[in-house]
Chains A and B, each alone.
Chain A
Amino acid sequence: MLAGVFSLLMAGLFVTLDAVDVAFTEAAVGAGITTVLLLATLARVGQREKIPLHTPLLPLVVVIATGAALIYGTVDMPVYGDPQAPVHQHVAPLYIAEARAKTGVPNIVTAVLASYRGYDTLGEVAVVFTAGVGVLLLLGSRSRKRPPRSQDDAR
């Protein structure tokens, strides 16, 4: 539930950052579908957590070290909104200048996603496809193979 609320807040944040396409995706996927799937999963798994066999110290140290490294990495990042940042210097000006004329699509995000970065998007769709096939193989076929499942069938 909290994750869904968080996603919705992130979607609002993306809107204020003028990233409407990203906000749209976040609202639909993060706040919508993921919440439903998470709840469906929670309904499926058992009520009790397994008692952990190891001490939580080592994972805690790893998490803190990783977090500290990531935060240290942000120190070098360019100032937010800086037009001289490297990401705004490479191909972005070219996209903005010629995307509309070359593709006839007013939404530059769509033009970059589908045309300039067509390979990347094909890869993304392949990832989604693989996820679907994986779920189908792991969870989907078994329920079809044994049609009359009894009520007290333990999984």
Chain B
Amino acid sequence: MPDDLILRVVAKLVIPFVLLFALYVQFHGDYGPGGGFQAGVIFAAGFIIHGLVFGVAKTRRVIPDGIVSGLVAAGLLLYAGVGVVGLLGGGNYLDYSVLASDPVAGQHLGILLIELGVGITVFAVMVTIFFAFADRDR
């Protein structure tokens, strides 16, 4: 497959838009359909296309294993950390109202942050699973 010119060119054209769309889904989840889960999966799909067309070894150079496994934990930590910040601010765990001066703004900020955490973890786990499965038969 790596020798297929059309696949390589089309993949190079498509991948930036896939990643951009994932970011749109991530940060527009408050207003339209979408959110961290979907965005993480779509972002991972961009890297999986890269892995399928150019070979997993090259994708591993783009995004090394250390970074991926770090991100797996970072997303969950971000989510749980937002809860702890809420505790420190005097609210309940995962109560976002105290994150900003205005409760509504705090809720909005909290939702944005935890969706980001969800997205990071889902993305990293999907890439991890793909690497683990796809990289072994070569």
Question: Which residues of A does B touch, CB under 8 Å?
Answer: 20-21, 23-25, 28-29, 32-33, 36-37, 40-41, 43-44, 101-107, 109-111, 113-115, 118-119, 121-122, 124-126, 128-129, 131-133, 135-136, 138-140, 143-144, 155
Contact = CB atoms under 8 A, between A and B. Distances in A.
Contacts of B65: 140, 144
B111 A33 contact: no
Interface in B88-114: 94, 96, 103-105, 107-108, 110-111, 114
Interface of B: 25, 29-35, 37-38, 41-42, 44-45, 48, 52, 65, 69, 72-73, 75-76, 79-80, 83, 94, 96, 103-105, 107-108, 110-111, 114-115, 117-118, 121-122, 124-126, 128-137
Chain B, interface SS category: helix
B44 A33 contact: yes
Given A33-B41, A113-B35, A114-B110, 9 more contacts: A44-B136, A103-B107, A103-B111, A107-B33, A109-B33, A125-B79, A128-B122, A135-B125, A155-B136
A28 B132 contact: no
B97 to A, nearest CB: 8
Contact of B38 (A24, A122, A133): A24
